[in-house]
Amino acid sequence: MQRREARAAWTFSLPALLLLTAFLIVPFVLAFALAFTDQRLIPNPRLPTEFVGLRNFERLLQDATFQRALLNNFAFAAFVVPVQSALALAMAMLVNQRLRGSLVFRTIYFSPVVTTMVVVSAIWFLLYNPTEGFINAFLGAISFGLIEPIAWLQDTRSALAAIAILSIWQGVGFQMVIFLAGLQEIAQQLYEAARIDGANRLQMFRSITLPSLRNTTIFVIISTTILAFRLYDQVKIMTQGGPQNATQTVVYQIERVGFGQLRVGYASALTVVFFLIVLAVALLQRRFLREERTV
């Protein structure tokens, strides 16, 4: 019986394992191998691929564009992760109430998630238009013209924040659903006992809701961080890394170097280093949150 169950488990897991190997493990192994070469996207018979050792990694350490892109990634994640997680929890608690129309609001809040980021970026690009966009028109109307039109995507001070706002709007529904599932797993008897003891809503939130959602919060924070570091579509559609590298990201730089400049070897080195950085951040988050769990 155990052998049959093991064979059945491996049979059902095999398609996923094959896809994981073909599209994740093998490409990363190839990227790691090519990172030590000067491989080009289009081979040149006169310039064969050569092993260059650590030259790509040495160049990476001196690459000002990479340093700015990495800083932008960290700044984007530092803003998006806490804001999106907190907003998702608030929305989940709102739609978890037994109110008329709660199912409609759940659908409305989740609908941006099923819309592709390319479409969302194109729409928000029009909304951010400094002269004809709805956002500037709305701000001007409610301020009676005191707020002048803002060049959201053309100003180095606001471009990354503008992309962060649309990213939160598009992705918060996904985290809301996860928090909603966690909220529905909390026993209602705990809240009833707290009400009998005279606890108010804030005390119940701090003593019951947050501790019960700890595992869910860990998953949301780590997954949101990984998605934040993968920032690419919004930059590609809206700013192409500008203005003055204000929205440059590592993933966009990898695509530009690998496919635009045809330097596959250097792009592979960027990929390997960025993967290790994101992995280190995720592991540190997991360890920190696990330590908080034991307090």
Tens of pLDDT, residue by residue over 27-68, are 989 999 999 999 998 877 777 888 999 999 999 999 999 999
Omega into 243 within 30° of 0, i.e. cis? yes
Q: d(Cα 188, Cα 70) in Å, to the nearest integer?
A: 44
Domains of the chain: 63-293 (1.10.3720.10)
Mean pLDDT across 139-155: 90
Computed over its alpha carbons, how large is the radius of gyration of the chain? 24
β-partners of residue 51 are 37
Task: Share the mean pLDDT of the chain.
Answer: 90
Residue 294: pLDDT band by 50, 70, 90 thresholds?
very low
Indicate the helix (H) or strand (E) that contains 201.
helix 201-204
Q: What is the pLDDT of residues 216-242, one digit of tens each?
A: 999 999 999 999 999 999 999 999 998
Res. 143: pLDDT tops 50 = yes
CB atoms under 10 Å from CB of 13, counted, come to 11
Residue 77: pLDDT band by 50, 70, 90 thresholds?
very high
